[in-house]
Every structure is written in structure tokens, then in C-alpha cells.
Amino acid sequence: MRYLPVVAGGMMAISNTPGAAMNHRAWLNLAHAYVSVAELQALKERFGDVAAIVAASASQLRAAGLPDKKAQAISMPSEKTLRSSLSWLDGDSHHIVAYGRDDFPEMLTQLSGAPLLLFVNGNIDVLHLPSLAIVGSRNPTRGGVRNAVDFSRHLASSGYAIVSGLAEGIDTAAHRGALSAGGKTVAFLGHGIDRVYPAQNHDLAHEIAASGALVTEYALGAPPDRRHFPERNRLISGLSLGTLVIEAARRSGSLITARCAAEQGREVFALPGSIHNPLARGCHELIRQGAKLVETANDIGAELAPLAGHLQQTAGKVEQDTAPTPDDDKDYVELRKLLGHDPIAIDDLKNQSGLTIEQLSSMLLILELHGEVESLSGGRYALIA
């Protein structure tokens, strides 16, 4: 599948003072050399701070216990790579968040494999909200999509940030459900922050960055490599108080996320389904292993409320948007006028409404969940009589 570049949103700008730029350069140097948190802590004991570490010679770094390859990478960094990353940081809403600093998410500091550095496009305050991960099949049923939107919308309205991986299917529905409620959502990426994968979620990525956050530990230009996604999953579960799995086969990346959550001491929730649905088998297996069976979003809220603790205090500091409902939003009113009981293609709706395919897909999904619209074959829609 293809991926597309992502352009900055329009929020806080990074400081460009000489001190700030030097600090960014030092942290980027360490990240590009793949220095681990444990290695960083040992180097700090020897040299004091990151500026002193990157100023050390390769022999001094080796003497401090750093492997030769990493020592060489720090002492002779790629200037082209550093310039590219520093240039990206000039963009609005572009940030790097380093381990040990105040803006690094507290939930991720608890991980044994915490990342040294996070690249963030969006609002870093969202990373400190009490969060729930919602993951599941890339090829869900209509019911699975509806459940993902409903659970996400309800919990986002309650003040939880919804965390997922921007993949097709359940991930996409979870992000859209949070956005439709005017809530916050975080997407962890399995590639560089300057890309979007899959390509069809390009517009969704921009919507997330505008009010929530796109996050990755991978350097700019890193491709969506297969091995990155299981690594990415530990951060989805790690940032979250709990992980909800909606529709997953027995061999599924979603189950990797659930396993990570259990190993991290987080809550694991699973939505049961029909015994005849292959996508319910992964959820049933999780329930047999001790995951909490849930039927409503309130089941999750009741479990997570005592765990949120002081994170709930932060939740009050991050403004929740008030999203128009299908009943009072003028775009929905106009869309209803274009729809009829005769099927109409989404491309025709796009041409007549001036809205994008992504906007229409989200709005039509909401209308479908409200029982006003039905989705037909060939990408066509009609009002329900």
C-alpha cells in the first residue's frame, strides 16, 4: 500500500532560540544513534547531560560502556539527517518529547522498553490525559465498526483520550468516533512522523493532529516496516490505562497489543461476539485468559475511573471541543437534502456538497449509526424510509 507525506497542523510553534535548538540537536543525535533509556542514564552518570554526551569522543563513549557502532554514530552524526529533523521541528505543532523531561508522558516512563524520544505532531498535552486504547481487525464487520465508533464516542465524551494506530478498520473507526464527539485521540505510527500509512487515512491524520496528536518513536523518513508495528503496539497499550479489543482473529496484531497491556499491568477488555464470527474468536480467547468482558462503554468507565487518579486532574486542563450533532450541524442538514431513498454514489455526494470523501465517510457513518442512512454496495447511500 502507498503512504503520503503529512503536512503540519496549526498549533504551538517550537522555540527557535539558540539554546533550544542545541538541545534538540543533542537529543536527535542520541535518538538517531538508537541510544536506549538505560544507556542514556549510564552516560548521564558519566558525562552529566546530553550536551556533554554528544560532545564526547567515540573512545570516551566506548569507555563509558556504549557499543562501538552507537559511539561512532554519536561522534560522527549524519548532518543531513539532523538538518532534516531540525527543519521539521520548525513547523507549527511539531515537537520532540524526550525521556526524563517534564513533558514526557508519565504512563510511558513505567515501561521497561520506554522510548528515548517521541516525535509529536499535535498537542502534547493530550499525551497526559487518562487514555483508553481501542484496537481490532483491519477488516471488521459493520457491527464492529459501529461498536468502535460508539464506545470511542462515549468514552471520549467522558474525558478519555482514545489511543489507536491509524490502521484501517477498527483503528480508523475509533479515531473517528472520538473526533465526532469533539474528544481527543492519539495515533501511534509505525513509521516516520513525516508520512501517513495507509494513504487513505491522510485526511484523518490531519484531523487528529489538529486537536489530538500523531506520535512515533521512529526518525523522519522511516518507512512503515513490518517489524515496526508490533513495536508500536507496546506504546499504544503503554500510554493507556486499558486496552479494548473489538473484533480480532486468533492470530492478530490486536492480540499483541492486548498482551503488551497485560504485561504492562494495564487493564484488558474484550467485546464478545457471535460464535459463528471468526473475528470474535480472538476476543473470546482473551476473555478465557482473564480479559474483562464488556457490553457497554459504562462497563469500561466503571473499571477505569479508580485508576485514572491524578491523570483526571490533567484531563480538566485540556479543553474538549463541542462537536455539532447531526441534529444541529448545517453540513448534516445540507447532506440530508442531497440524500434520498434512491441510492446515490459517494462521489456524486462529493461533487454536489463540496465536502471531501473523508468528511462524507465520517458523516455518513454517524447518520448510519443514528439509523437515518443505509450503506449499499458500490459505495452508494440512501435514506432509510
Collapsed DSSP state (helix, strand, coil) of residue 330 = helix
- b/e per residue 288-316 (b: at least 16 CB within 10 A): eeebeebeebebbbeebeeebeebeebbe
pLDDT at 256: 94
Helix axes 202-211, 357-369, angle to 10 degrees: 80
Quote the pLDDT of residue 327.
58
Largest pairwise CA distance in the chain:
76
| Residue-wise DSSP of 38-62 | HHHHHHHHHHSSHHHHHHS-HHHHH
- Show pLDDT as tens, one digit a residue, over the chain (385 residues): 333 344 333 333 233 333 444 389 999 999 999 999 999 999 999 999 999 999 999 999 999 999 999 999 999 999 999 999 999 999 999 999 999 998 999 999 999 889 999 999 999 999 999 999 999 999 999 999 999 999 999 999 988 999 999 999 999 999 999 999 999 999 999 999 999 999 999 999 999 999 999 999 999 999 999 899 999 999 999 999 999 999 999 888 899 999 999 999 999 999 999 999 999 999 999 999 999 999 999 899 888 887 775 555 544 445 545 445 565 577 888 888 898 888 898 888 888 988 887 677 767 767 775 668 887 777 788 888 6
DSSP state of 160: P
Under a CB-based contact definition with an 8 Å cutoff, are residues 123 and 92 in contact?
A: no
3-state secondary structure of 94: strand
pLDDT score recorded for residue 223: 94
Domains, in order of start, for the chain = 15-91 (no CATH), 125-315 (3.40.50.450), 330-383 (1.10.10.10)
Element (H, E) at 373: strand 373-376
User: Residue 163: how many CA atoms within 13 Å on its side-chain side?
Assistant: 30
pTM of the model: 0.78
Assign residue 149 a region: left if phi > 0, alpha if psi is -120 to 50, beta otherwise?
A: alpha
253 CB neighbour count, 10 Å cutoff: 19
- 196, β-bridge pairs: 4
Q: CA gyration radius for the chain?
A: 22
In total, the chain counts a number of residues equal to 385
* pLDDT number for residue 358: 63
Please provide the DSSP assignment of 359-382 as one string.
Answer: HHHHHHHHHHHTTSEEEETTTEEE
Look at phi and psi of residue 119 and say left if phi exceeds 0, alpha if psi is from -120 to 50, else beta. Answer: beta
